[in-house]
Amino acid sequence: KAGVTQTPRYLIKTRGQQVTLSCSPISGHRSVSWYQQTPGQGLQFLFEYFSETQRNKGNFPGRFSGRQFSNSRSEMNVSTLELGDSALYLCASRRDRGDGYTFGSGTRLTVV
């Protein structure tokens, strides 16, 4: 059974650019969540999608957005990148409400 797949694993972008990260959940999982991990702020919740609808959103500016497709794959977009957006972005999926989360290995984004 394949796990949660995040692509790419590493990414270097220039300040002001935009970036799109991808997450493919475990087959049958309908929910995808995104977390940002930085040394200073730790692990912070970005948003959760369930059956193509955003269900919850964390306290991040509007530059951070996401979407989920009919096959449950999810993308996260960050526009107008800032140096502070450099982080490990983790995706997690689960089958349904109340279930546990399975995490991917993350995308390491570096903004220069």
Candidate segments 13-21, 64-72, 74-82, 103-111, binder of another protein by CB under 8 A = 103-111
**3-class state of residue 29 by DSSP:** coil
Q: How far is CA 73 from CA 61, 64, 103, 112, in A?
A: 23, 17, 14, 28
42 vs 111: CA distance, rounded Å = 18
User: At CA 71, angle to CA 66 and CA 102, rounded to 5?
Assistant: 70
Q: Which amino acid is at 90?
A: L
Among 1, 2, 14, 42, binds another protein (CB under 8 A): 42
52 vs 48: CA distance, rounded Å = 10
Kindly write out the interface string for residues 45-84 of this chain, putting x where it contacts another protein by CB under 8 A and - elsewhere. Answer: x--x-------x-x--------------------------
Among 18, 77, 105, 110, binds another protein (CB under 8 A): 105
Q: Please answer whether residues 5 and 60 qualify as being in contact, where contact means their C-beta atoms are separated by less than 8 angstroms.
A: no
Minimum Å gap between C-beta 83 and another protein is 21
Q: Give the total of residues touching another protein (CB under 8 A).
A: 21
Residue 85 interacts with another protein (CB under 8 A): yes or no: no
Instruction: List residues near another protein by CB under 8 A.
Output: 33, 35, 42-43, 45, 48, 56, 58, 88, 90, 92, 97-98, 100-106, 108
